[in-house]
A = this chain, B = another copy of it.
Amino acid sequence: MMELTRKGEYAIRGIIYLAQQPPGRVSLISEIAAAAEVPQSFLAKIFQSFAKLGLVTSARGTGGGFVLARPASVITLREVVEAVEGPIVPNRCLLGSACERGGEPCRAHAVWKQVQTEVVHILDDVTIESLARNRNLDEVTMESLARNR
């Protein structure tokens, strides 16, 4: 349950690669795909989404390619995931008022709302910069644990 698809996985791998490049360096989709080990044609569409949402800047033609549109420190994991997977919604009932049966929202409505809030909060607190940084995961874990009290 609640699984990220390959699209989300590839999106993260791809944008982390971009974040690891020297600032301003332009990367080709072919280069990113090779480095992140993801299918190029698939990644191309993922980066189209990124560009449309203003996460990356794209340029066509010779010398074209992709660059982060903002510093990696102000791009959150949530933005990246939602860019390709859509909003984080543990149950459809959180979208339209689609869970109303007999005039009442579904019994678990408040629980799903809580799950959504929690997950969004976690992903909002993770920047692409922190993921791109070369450090051991223990440190990252300790940090987020500390933030969460």
Contact indicator per residue, chain A 83-110, by CB within 8 Å of chain B (1) or not (0): 0011111111100000001000111111
Q: Is A28 an interface residue (CB 8 A)?
A: no
Q: Which stretch in A48-56, A65-73, A111-119 binds the other chain?
A: A111-119
- Of chain B, the residue at the smallest CB distance from A131 is B107
Interface size, A (range): 35 or more
Interface, chain A (partner B; CB < 8 A): 1-4, 8-9, 12-13, 16, 37, 77, 81-82, 85-93, 101, 105-115, 118-119, 122-123, 126, 131-132, 135, 137, 140-141, 144
List the 3 closest A-B pairs by CB distance, nearest first: A1-B85, A2-B2, A107-B131
A–B pairs, 28, beta carbons within 8 Å: A1-B81, A1-B82, A1-B85, A1-B86, A1-B87, A1-B88, A2-B2, A2-B3, A2-B4, A2-B90, A3-B89, A3-B92, A4-B91, A4-B92, A4-B112, A9-B93, A12-B106, A13-B106, A77-B111, A105-B137, A107-B132, A108-B126, A110-B140, A110-B141, A110-B144, A113-B141, A118-B119, A119-B119
